[in-house]
Amino acid sequence: MRHGSYRFVASFLAIPLALYAIFVISPFAQAFYYSLTDWTGISPKFEFVGLENFKTLTRDAVFRTALGNNVVLLIGVPLITILLALTFAYLLNVGGRANSAGVQGVRGNGFYKLAFFFPQVLSVPVIAVIWSVVMNSTDNGLANSVTRRLGLGSSEYLASPDLALYCVMWVMIWGSVGFYLVLFNAAMSGIPKDIFEAAIIDGAGRAATFFRITLPLLWDTIQTAWVYLAILALDAYALVAVMTAGPGGPDNSTQVMGLQIADNGFQYGRAGYASAMGVVLFFLTLIIAAIMLRATRRDRIEY
């Protein structure tokens, strides 16, 4: 590249890089700095305490509970969401009967795509309010009304320490399946139908075409979806804050790291301690994303 070209490229990159440094890098750097102090979040005066906040974190039982709940969400949300979205996308694309027009999706697939995508137009607080009403622990709750009519009795749902976290997990999955269904559907639409038709003519069943054609050809999309869903599972703040009592649920059964950061930073006046939690969450997210990208890396299949 000639010398004059460097100036031309630098003139375009200077402003975006400056904005990125101010609004993205600078907040991270400040969080790292405040995590080493006893700042309250209000007073301009604070003391440097070194790694004391991180030592306190190792003895904080509520934070360990929140970390464990995030791990449960981290395992359940990506796994179930991707499984459901992939299955539905496969049925909508090639789940119908093969005829003279070739392999087709199930009848009415356009309506199903719209119906599954509908939760995406709702904000997270609205979804949380809707499901908190549905999962009301009284006999007047919608879920309890249905189960009682079916003779299955009633449940406490969000009021139960054993069920509350799984109720939150279900709502996260319900709200995410539609988006990833559309994502997988778009990726699946790019696969030539000839490949599926040739496999079916050769005697391959639906299960064989799913595992031996669809999954390998969509692997890059699945990998990306897995990382995004893992990041979503490490957050979960908005759902827990709106849906569960406390918030944090009975016996801290729905405590998550995002909620602990907000409580310590804005309610208890421990902004330095909350920053230490944020630093832990930052590195945890970074490590999990790197592990997932590394563990699921495969050679790309061209078609």
d(CA 41, CA 75): 34
d(CA 227, CA 221): 10
pLDDT at 21: 92
Q: What is the mean pLDDT of residues 220-246?
A: 88
Contact assessment for residue 113 and residue 189, using Cβ atoms and an 8 Å cutoff: no
CA angle 165, 267, 263 (to 5 degrees): 25
Contact assessment for residue 229 and residue 115, using Cβ atoms and an 8 Å cutoff: no
Q: What is the pLDDT of residues 141-177, one digit of tens each?
A: 888 888 888 888 888 888 888 999 999 999 999 989 9
For residue 14, pLDDT beyond 90:
no
When mean pLDDT is compared across 14-28, 69-83, 201-215, the lowest value belongs to 201-215
Q: What is the mean pLDDT of residues 222-228?
A: 89
Mean pLDDT of the chain: 85
Residue 6: CB atoms within 10 Å: 10
pLDDT at 250: 86
pLDDT at 119: 81
Tell me the whole-structure pTM to 2 decimals.
0.84
Contact assessment for residue 212 and residue 204, using Cβ atoms and an 8 Å cutoff: yes
pLDDT at 276: 94
Q: pLDDT grade, residue 120 (50/70/90)?
A: confident
- Count Cβ neighbours within 10 Å for each residue of 214-248 and write b for 16 or more, e otherwise: beebbbebbebbbbbbbebbbbbbebbbbbbeebb
Residue 113: CB atoms within 10 Å: 18
DSSP 8-state symbol, 157: G
Give the dihedral sign, CA 54/60/66/71: positive
pLDDT at 99: 61
d(CA 66, CA 256): 4
pLDDT at 80: 95
Q: Quick one: which of 214, 116, 223, 134 has its CA closest to 173?
A: 116
List, in order, residues 6 or more apart from 69 with CB less than 8 Å away: 165, 253, 254, 255, 256
For residue 196, pLDDT beyond 80:
no
- Count Cβ neighbours within 10 Å for each residue of 289-298 and write b for 16 or more, e otherwise: beebeeeeee
Please give the CATH topology (third level) of the domain spanning 52-296: MetI-like fold (1.10.3720)
Q: What is the mean pLDDT of residues 96-124?
A: 74
d(CA 55, CA 77): 30
d(CA 124, CA 108): 28
Q: What is the mean pLDDT of residues 80-104?
A: 78
For residue 274, pLDDT beyond 90:
yes
List, in order, residues 6 or more apart from 300 with CB less than 8 Å away: 220
Q: Is 204 exposed, middle or buried, given 0-12, 13-18 or 19+ CB atoms closer than 10 A?
A: middle
Distances in Å between the Cα of 254 and the Cα atoms of 78, 86, 243, 293 are 18, 28, 10, 28
List, in order, residues 6 or more apart from 48 with CB less than 8 Å away: 36, 37
Break the chain into its structural domains and give their ranges.
52-296
